[in-house]
């Protein structure tokens, strides 16, 4: 799908503020893909569509999660998680994107997962460090991203987990599993 057509489809679904965020994620994902050897076109497409379902009504997302037999435990955690798996489903159905790698990068961009692909890592991190993001710790992760994709991901997950803990919010298990998996692989590569 052409970039401009994809951007137009997304622009119809999200706010102007979120569209500006999306443009930042697109540029960051292209930079990360080029730096770490991911498919640049797939990274661009996944980045464009990563927040496609962000503003869908909660009831619609809940119904899709149930109807499409997505992990039921999603419904037990913060609704902010829902737009990623629901978005992957809707991007396939409404925008006609069929590439499973692109869809998985959209699906896991909020929670992560064990054995993330390079493309999934790029989209997850690009969403976290795009230039419009301003919160404590983001600069450190941006600096780490210049040296190591996995170290930047680990730090972003640490920050997210601590942030949620301080707010007394439940943490989706896949996020912990992603953190542990990346840490284990980093430890193994250092030995």
172, 81 contact by CB (below 8 A): yes
Q: How confident is the model at residue 190 (pLDDT cuts 50, 70, 90)?
A: confident
**Cα→Cα distances 178→40, 125, 173, 175, 183, Å:** 23, 13, 9, 5, 8
Give the closest residue to 75 by CA, choosing from 54, 98, 59, 89: 59
Q: How far apart are the first and last CA of the chain?
A: 43
- DSSP helix, strand, coil percent of the chain (3-state; round to 5): 70, 0, 30
Total-model pTM: 0.97
User: What is the per-residue pLDDT across 54-68, written as a single tens digit (0 to 9) for each?
Assistant: 999 999 999 999 999
Q: What is the mean pLDDT of residues 97-118?
A: 98
* Residue ranges of E strands in the chain: none
According to the model, what pLDDT value does residue 137 have? 95
Q: Is the pLDDT of residue 155 over 80?
A: yes
Structure tokens at 170: 């439940």
User: What is the per-residue pLDDT across 7-36, written as a single tens digit (0 to 9) for each?
Assistant: 999 999 999 999 999 999 999 999 999 999
Q: What is the mean pLDDT of residues 1-12?
A: 96
Q: Is the pLDDT of residue 191 over 90?
A: no
Q: How confident is the model at residue 1 (pLDDT cuts 50, 70, 90)?
A: confident
- 3-state secondary structure labels for all residues of 108-143: CCCCCCCCCCHHHHHHHHHHHHCCCCCCCCHHHHHH
Give the closest residue to 64 by CA, choosing from 88, 28, 40: 88
């Amino acid at each position: 799908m052409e970039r401009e057509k994809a951007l137009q489809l997304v622009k119809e679904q999200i706010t102007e503020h979120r569209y500006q965020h999306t443009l930042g994620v697109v540029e960051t994902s292209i930079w990360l893909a080029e730096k770490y050897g991911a498919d640049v076109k797939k990274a661009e497409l996944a980045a464009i569509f990563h927040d496609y379902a962000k503003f869908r009504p909660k009831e619609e997302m809940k119904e899709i999660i149930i109807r499409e037999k997505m992990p039921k435990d999603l419904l037990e955690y913060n609704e902010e998680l829902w737009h990623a798996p629901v978005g992957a489903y809707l991007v396939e159905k409404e925008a006609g994107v069929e590439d499973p790698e692109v869809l998985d990068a959209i699906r896991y961009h909020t929670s992560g997962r064990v054995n993330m692909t390079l493309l999934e890592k790029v989209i997850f991190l690009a969403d976290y460090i795009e230039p419009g993001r301003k919160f404590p710790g983001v600069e450190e992760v941006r600096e780490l991203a210049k040296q190591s994709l996995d170290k930047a991901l680990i730090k972003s997950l640490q920050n997210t987990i601590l942030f949620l803990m301080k707010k007394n919010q439940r943490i989706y298990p896949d996020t912990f599993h992603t953190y542990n998996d990346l840490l284990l692989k980093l430890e193994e590569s250092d030995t």
